[in-house]
Amino acid sequence: MVNVKKPAAGSTHARTVPRAHQKVGRTVRDTAHETIEQLRAGAADCAREGQDKVQQVERSFAQYVREQPLQSILIAAAVGLVLGRFWLRR
């Protein structure tokens, strides 16, 4: 077993170790904050893109219904019947 001597309380080593730990802690904290901000910005961009896609699909759907009203009603009725049958089977 190796015998390691502890530095004296007033030694330079005893004072520099906590400072080094504080520096590492600040570096880790700053890196974590930067990473969180990058993730937040990326999530906001993804949310905006998703919202734009949904609005685009909604506009396309509304345009189709305006151009094909009878076919839209028949499709909606068929979907309603299929869902109704599944609902009744449960």
Cα–Cα distance measured from residue 88 to residue 90, given in angstroms and rounded to the nearest whole number: 5
Phi, psi of 10 (to 5 degrees): -95, 5
The pLDDT mean for the chain works out to 87
Angle, helices 69-89/12-67, rounded to nearest 10 degrees: 120
The reported pLDDT for the residue numbered 35 is 95
Cα–Cα distance measured from residue 59 to residue 78, given in angstroms and rounded to the nearest whole number: 22
The pLDDT confidence band at residue 1, using thresholds 50, 70 and 90, is: low
56 against 4, higher pLDDT: 56
Quote the pTM value: 0.52
Would you state the torsion angle of the CA atoms of residues 41, 47, 52, 54, taken in this order, to the nearest 10 degrees?
170
In Å, what is the CA distance from 21 to each residue of 10, 17, 18, 31? Answer: 18, 6, 5, 15
